[in-house]
Structure formats: structure tokens, C-alpha cells
Amino acid sequence: MTGTSGYSYLEWVDSGFYPPGTRSAAMLSLYGRSFSVVELNYTWYQMARSDVLARMLAAAPAHIVFAAKLTRTVTHEREEDWREQVQRYRQGIGALGKRLAAILVQLPPDFDRTVSNRHFLAELLDYLQGMPVAVEFRHASWAVDTVFAELERRQVTLVSVDEPDLPGLFPRLDVVTNPALFYVRFHGRNEKGWKNGNMQKKFDYDYSEQELHQWCEHELGSLSSRSRRGIIFFNNHVRAQAPRNALLLDSLIRKKVGRSG
């Protein structure tokens, strides 16, 4: 399943993905006409609340499933009471029920593989036990077999990423640690923007058909052959490139499946 990281972008109205005059409240149902999965960004900015999610679910098209980011106060701006926050998050996100495809634990770029960080991650995964969890590393130091083995032991998905080829960033891999789910995030390959830090520049990238075709032939083929289910998100939201690229990849996958079928 392909989708995008977030769906509520006014910019996508200007760029033509949503019809002119679309308000935020109407976006999810329009999004559902093109996609069946979406990554919820808002749960990164604020704690997941069951009442809010239940209302969103009630208004969402019935076929859509969700991946939800873990709150920033647990991953990026860790607070002392993070353990209680994880419990609150579990309670809040529970409102999605069976439509929760994964909880995305996105770790910050400076989160390297130190002893204390390893202990934190192990404890965090303990607290999230029983939930469908996917971990996205940004720091290259985590790209080691022992980490993959531990994720595999815990049945936690390692997120495969496509991002600029810059030193220190987590590499592009097709490692499967959880046969129940593979998870891919396309961030774009805007090297200049990535260094700049401005979201509008960082995620301003339009994947070419050739680039997506390569993914389709190599990494995605490998990932899907070893997993029962996979979700793929495009995070290059600027100028609605994410939904365009997601639809393009979706058509390439369909073609490939058609060929092999």
C-alpha cells in the first residue's frame, strides 16, 4: 500500500491534488479516493487522544488504515515522564483499533548508538510491546547486524528509508526484521535542503520515474518477497509531490505485479 506522510496540506489545494477551495476538514475523505493508507503526523506534535482519533476515524473513509508517529516528547524532546507518556499514547492510539497499521518510532538524527540510547530504545520497545511498531533510525551507527537481529527477535519493523546520500545518515537498506510488515519512507533526495533544515526545502523533491522504477525492481521486490504486508509513504510533501510520486509508484508496482502475474 502506498500513501503519504500526512494528508492535511493546504499547499496540495494550490498544487491541484485537492480541488480548489478544499478545507482541511474535507481532506481525508478526498485523500481516500486515491490512497488506502496514511501516516499521521499530528501525533508527533501532540499526544494521541482517543476522542480526537475516534472523531477522525468516524469521518474517514472505511478502507483507510493508519500509521501514527510516536509523540516528540518521547523521541525527540524526551521528557522525564516519557514512560507515562508512552502509556498515555498507547491508550490514545488504541482508538484506531484494527485500523492501526503501525506506530512509527522516528528517532532524531543525533540519536546514535550509545549505551544509554540502546538502553532507552530497548525500554521504549518494551513499553510498546504488543503494538505494531516500526523504528526509523536517522543515524548511520544503527546499521549493524546486532541491531537488526534484536529488532527481529522483538518482531519490530526496521523502516527502510530513501533520503539524500549524505555521510552519517542511515543507509538505504532492504532488511526485513518483521515478516508481518515492511515499512518504507521516501523523504526525497534534496541534499541542499536537507542541510538547510527548512521543511519546505528539506522535503522539496520530485522522484523521477526511473528512480521509483529502480526501487520497484530492487528494494521493494526484495522486501515484499519476505513480508506479508508492506506500507510505503512519501514525505516529500512540498508542492504535492508526495501524492504524485506515491500514485506513480503505485502504478509501477501494479505494472510489475501484472507482468509477473
| Per CB under 8 A, 190 contacts another protein | no
Binder of another protein out of 46, 91, 114, 214 (CB under 8 A): 46
Alpha-carbon span 63 to 32, nearest angstrom: 8
Residue 29: phi and psi, rounded to 5, are: -70, -35
Of the ranges 37-45, 96-104, 185-193, 250-258, which one interacts with another protein (CB under 8 A)?
37-45
Distance CA 205, CA 260 (A): 30
Question: Taking CB under 8 A as the rule, does residue 195 contact another protein?
Answer: no
Among 182, 105, 104, 173, smallest CA distance to 144 is for 173
**Residues from 6 through 35 that contact another protein (CB under 8 A):** 6, 8-11, 14, 21, 23-26
4: contact with another protein by CB under 8 A? no
**C-alpha torsion 94→129→99→234, nearest 10:** 120
Task: Considering the complex, state which of residue 132 and residue 193 has its C-beta at the smaller distance from another protein.
Answer: 193
Q: What is the largest CA-CA distance in the chain?
A: 53
Percent helix, strand, coil in the chain (nearest 5)?
45, 15, 35
Question: Binding string, 68-107, against another protein, x = CB under 8 A?
Answer: ----x----x------------------------------
The answer for residues whose C-beta is within 8 angstroms of residue 149's C-beta and 6 or more apart is: none
Among 16, 29, 55, 126, binds another protein (CB under 8 A): 55
Q: Does 192 bind another protein (CB under 8 A)?
A: no
The one among 34, 42, 125, 155 contacting another protein by CB under 8 A:
42
What is the spatial distance between Cα 31 and Cα 26, in angstroms, rounded to a whole number? Answer: 9
Size of the site for another protein (CB under 8 A): 23
By CB under 8 A, is residue 57 in contact with another protein?
A: no
Draw the binding track, 145-184, toward another protein (x: CB under 8 A; -: no contact). Answer: ----------------------------------------
Is residue 73 within 8 Å of 37, Cβ to Cβ?
A: no
Q: Which is nearer to another protein, 45 or 144 (CB)?
A: 45
Torsion angle of the four alpha carbons 28, 31, 32, 33, in this order, in degrees rounded to the nearest 10: 140
Nearer to another protein, 220 or 242 (CB): 242
Closest CA to 76 of 109, 33, 28: 109
- Which residue bears the cell 491541484? 16
For another protein, the binding residues (CB under 8 A) are: 6, 8-11, 14, 21, 23-26, 41-42, 45-46, 52, 55-56, 72, 77, 198-200
